DNA sequence: CAGTGGTCTAGACCACGAA
DNA sequence: TCGTGGTCTAGACCACTGA
């Protein structure tokens, strides 16, 4: 069986979420887990390291691994979560309106951001408004390199660009750099969103990279402030 | 030498920041690094895993480890960074004003947040205003369990509570859960901060845990929106 | 095909916590 | 002291990339 440590990881995640292993108690020791899963200690340790990274346990030397009760659900925008997942999690009535879908030559700014050298490369510009409970809450402005994604349709934009890219095109998104600031709404924001009296929008800038470390997309997500929420779990790393 | 893999990690970080290893090029292979550092492959791999987690490299199977140029500096509030580090990074003229320092019985809310059972446990309430370039920008409201920190002085609060706790008291902070939202300013915010015309504050709620997975502090950081910036680096994890 | 990284093993020794 | 997790090793086999 390949990826034994991931199987073990999932198995223990199950046991934690089903409360077979209770919060604030100790997991079985690594030696006991070796016996239980019939594997070597390093493999058990890989599974435990994954659990710790994802906030399920806390390892304490000389003592054991403590099961955490930090509620790990409700991660609306953390990591690489897309709007589709977000909306599903919220379980609310949601809709996506594609305001713009064009293949254009990049501005100088965008050439810098997307690391475009060639004078021929074009950029997909997509603008989508996210509506939740009949209120236009989020404006997503995407810029995608045409060399990575040749075709793009309104249908794909309305459901999920990520599913298309990872499913149909077989590309793998690997990491992202995110920057959150608060700005005054632009005229565009006011036109496209139900901003009512709000005098700020929360801007999430997202630089998205593929497996080979090449940038492939820049997204600017502009949120009405009252509906914005960002959750983060940070573990102190060694030195 | 203990912690060989951390030494190797730091050494390679140096080589990357000094551009000995150039962005977008490949690191030496794991086998070559084994020879260079005279160690086993798993140890090299631990160092490389750390580099990947911290955004310095991207590992690609069958190919090698790509050096990233994602500028990893400018992380104002990411992770567990304290105000002192933030201010130092900004290199600006800054000051901390201790508005409040009291040992009080906890409210019911705070009992829940800090997981207090005993009817005797008290809570330190600290309020500090952060001034940068003569503008009062941030209001930090800390709540600390008296069972973890018995004494606390205005001097400690004015410099760095974390340095006191980790240095003097020998406690180790291990992880934190952070939640970012945008709210309307309270009267308190208006009184203590230079909010001028701003109609929002950015609220960062921080739940801070020690090594043994016990919660020890809750902090609410209230920022003037124009000075707020949060940077995050997210790597997609396996399943 | 050769070279790369990914997984796994069996065993060793060390550092730390609790009794 | 004993049981825990932390580090390290030498070697094996597999999966992927690119020529």
Q: What is the pLDDT of residues B14-31, one digit of tens each?
A: 999 898 999 989 999 999
| Minimum distance, in Å, between the CA of residue B212 and any CA atom of chain A | 7
Averaged pLDDT for residues B185-189: 97
Averaged pLDDT for residues B96-112: 95
The domain boundary, picked from A67, A85, A112, lies at A67
Q: What is the pLDDT of residue B85?
A: 55
Q: Are A222 and A130 in contact (CB under 8 A)?
A: no
Closest residue by C-alpha to C1' distance, nucleotide C13: B2
The reply to whether A116 and A54 lie within a common domain is: no
Of A42, A200, A212, the CB nearest to B182: A200
Q: For residues B7 and B79, what is the distance between their CA atoms, to the nearest angstrom?
A: 22
Of B174, B230, B239, the CB nearest to A236: B174
Distance from the first to the final alpha carbon of chain B: 35
The reply to whether A34 and A108 lie within a common domain is: no
* Partner residues linked to B145 by β-bridges: B123
Q: What is the pLDDT of residue A178?
A: 85
Q: What is the CATH number of the domain that holds A63?
A: 1.10.10.10
Those residues with Cβ within 8 angstroms of residue A80's Cβ, 6 or more apart along the chain or in another chain: A173, A175, A176, A208, B234, B236
The reply to whether A39 and A127 lie within a common domain is: no
Q: For residues B38 and B33, what is the distance between their CA atoms, to the nearest angstrom?
A: 8
Chain A residue with minimum CA distance to B10 = A239
Q: What angle do CA A82, A83, A84 make, to 5 degrees?
A: 90
Nearest of B86, B87, B129 to residue B231 by alpha carbon: B86
Residue B38 in domain: yes
Instruction: With CB atoms and an 8 Å threshold, state whether B231 touches A54.
Output: no
Residue A239 in domain: no
| Minimum distance, in Å, between the CA of residue A127 and any CA atom of chain B | 23
Chain B residues whose beta carbon lies within 8 Å of the beta carbon of residue A175:
55, 58, 233-236
How confident is the model over A172-231, as pLDDT tens digits? 888 888 888 999 999 999 999 999 889 999 999 998 888 888 888 999 999 999 988 888
The domain boundary, picked from B29, B44, B67, lies at B67
Q: What is the CATH number of the domain that holds A126?
A: 3.40.1410.10
Chain A residues whose beta carbon lies within 8 Å of the beta carbon of residue B54:
237
Residue B239 in domain: no
The reply to whether A149 and A207 lie within a common domain is: yes
Instruction: With CB atoms and an 8 Å threshold, state whether B231 touches A6.
Output: no
Nearest of B37, A175, B71 to residue B47 by alpha carbon: B37
Domain that holds residue A48: 4-67
Write out which nucleotides of chain D lie closer than 7 A to a protein Cβ: 3-12, 14-18
Residue B63 (CA) to nucleotide D18 (C1'), in angstroms, measures 9
| Minimum distance, in Å, between the CA of residue B114 and any CA atom of chain A | 12
Of B182, B209, B232, the CB nearest to A232: B232
How confident is the model over A60-83, as pLDDT tens digits? 999 999 999 865 544 433 444 555
Q: A28 vs A8, A73, B29, B171, CA distance in Å?
A: 13, 24, 37, 26
The reply to whether B82 and B62 lie within a common domain is: no
Of B10, B78, B182, the CB nearest to A202: B182
Indicate the number of domains in chain B: 2
Instruction: With CB atoms and an 8 Å threshold, state whether B212 touches A79.
Output: no
Q: Is A34 exposed, middle or buried (0-12, 13-18, 19+ CB in 10 A)?
A: middle
Residue B237 in domain: no
The reply to whether A211 and A116 lie within a common domain is: yes
Averaged pLDDT for residues A17-28: 92
DSSP H/E element including B66: strand B64-67
Residue with tokens 């800038």: A205
DSSP H/E element including A52: helix A41-53
Closest residue by C-alpha to C1' distance, nucleotide D17: B62
Those residues with Cβ within 8 angstroms of residue B134's Cβ, 6 or more apart along the chain or in another chain: B93
Instruction: With CB atoms and an 8 Å threshold, state whether A230 touches B78.
Output: no
Closest residue by C-alpha to C1' distance, nucleotide D2: A62
Q: For residues A115 and A92, what is the distance between their CA atoms, to the nearest angstrom?
A: 37
Does residue B56 have a pLDDT over 80? Answer: yes
Q: Are B130 and B136 in contact (CB under 8 A)?
A: yes
Chain B residue with minimum CA distance to A225 = B182
Helix, strand, coil percentages for chain B (3-state, nearest 5): 30, 30, 40
The reply to whether A9 and A127 lie within a common domain is: no
pLDDT band for position A7 (cuts 50, 70, 90): very high
Write out which nucleotides of chain C lie closer than 7 A to a protein Cβ: 3-12, 14-18
The domain boundary, picked from B33, B67, B101, lies at B67
Q: What is the pLDDT of residue B94?
A: 82
Residue B226 in domain: yes
Q: Residue A155 — φ and ψ, nearest 5°?
A: -65, -45
The reply to whether B38 and B96 lie within a common domain is: no
| Minimum distance, in Å, between the CA of residue B34 and any CA atom of chain A | 20
Residue A237 in domain: no
| Minimum distance, in Å, between the CA of residue B226 and any CA atom of chain A | 6
Q: For residues A21 and A113, what is the distance between their CA atoms, to the nearest angstrom?
A: 46
Helix, strand, coil percentages for chain A (3-state, nearest 5): 30, 30, 40
The reply to whether B211 and B167 lie within a common domain is: yes
Q: For residues A25 and A42, what is the distance between their CA atoms, to the nearest angstrom?
A: 23
Residue B104 in domain: yes
Q: Residue A221 — φ and ψ, nearest 5°?
A: -110, 120
Instruction: Collapse the DSSP code of B172 into the 3-class scheme (helix H, G, I; strand E, B; otherwise coil) and give the result.
Output: coil
DSSP H/E element including A23: none
The reply to whether B146 and B212 lie within a common domain is: yes
Q: What is the pLDDT of residue A239?
A: 47
Residue B204 (CA) to nucleotide C1 (C1'), in angstroms, measures 56
CB atoms within 10 A of CB A157: 22
Residue with tokens 């019985």: B105
Q: Residue B2 — φ and ψ, nearest 5°?
A: -80, 155
Q: For residues A18 and B45, what is the distance between their CA atoms, to the nearest angstrom?
A: 34
The reply to whether B16 and B90 lie within a common domain is: no
Residue B32 (CA) to nucleotide D7 (C1'), in angstroms, measures 21
The reply to whether B83 and B152 lie within a common domain is: yes
Residue B197 in domain: yes
B172, closest nucleotide (Cα–C1') = C16
CA torsion through residues B40, B45, B47, B48, sign: positive
Residue A14 (CA) to nucleotide D11 (C1'), in angstroms, measures 34
Q: Is A145 exposed, middle or buried (0-12, 13-18, 19+ CB in 10 A)?
A: buried
Q: What is the pTM of this model?
A: 0.88
Q: Residue A33 — φ and ψ, nearest 5°?
A: -65, -35
How confident is the model over B154-184, as pLDDT tens digits? 999 988 888 888 888 888 888 888 888 999 9
Chain A residue with minimum CA distance to B238 = A6
């Amino acid at each position: 069986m390949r990826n034994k440590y991931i199987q073990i990881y999932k198995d223990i995640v199950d046991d934690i979420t089903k409360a077979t292993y209770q919060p604030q108690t100790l997991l079985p020791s690594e030696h006991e887990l070796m016996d239980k899963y019939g594997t070597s200690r390093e493999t058990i340790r890989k599974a435990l390291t994954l659990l710790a990274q994802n906030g399920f346990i806390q390892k304490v030397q000389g003592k054991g691994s403590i099961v955490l009760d930090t509620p790990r659900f409700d991660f609306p925008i953390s990591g690489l979560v897309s709007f589709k997942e977000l909306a599903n999690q919220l379980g609310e009535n949601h809709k996506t309106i594609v305001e713009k879908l064009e293949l254009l030559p990049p501005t100088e700014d965008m050439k810098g951001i997307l690391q475009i050298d060639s004078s021929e490369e074009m950029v997909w510009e997509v603008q989508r408004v996210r509506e939740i409970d009949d209120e236009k809450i989020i404006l997503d402005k995407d810029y995608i390199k045409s060399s990575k994604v040749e075709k793009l349709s309104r249908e794909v934009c309305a459901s999920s660009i990520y599913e298309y890219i990872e499913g149909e095109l077989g590309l793998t998104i690997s990491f992202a750099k995110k920057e959150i600031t608060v700005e005054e709404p632009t005229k565009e924001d006011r036109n496209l969103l139900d901003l009512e009296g709000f005098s700020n929008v929360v801007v999430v800038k997202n630089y998205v990279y593929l497996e080979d470390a090449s940038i492939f997309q820049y997204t600017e997500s502009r949120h009405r402030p009252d509906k914005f929420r960002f959750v983060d779990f940070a573990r102190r790393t060694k030195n």
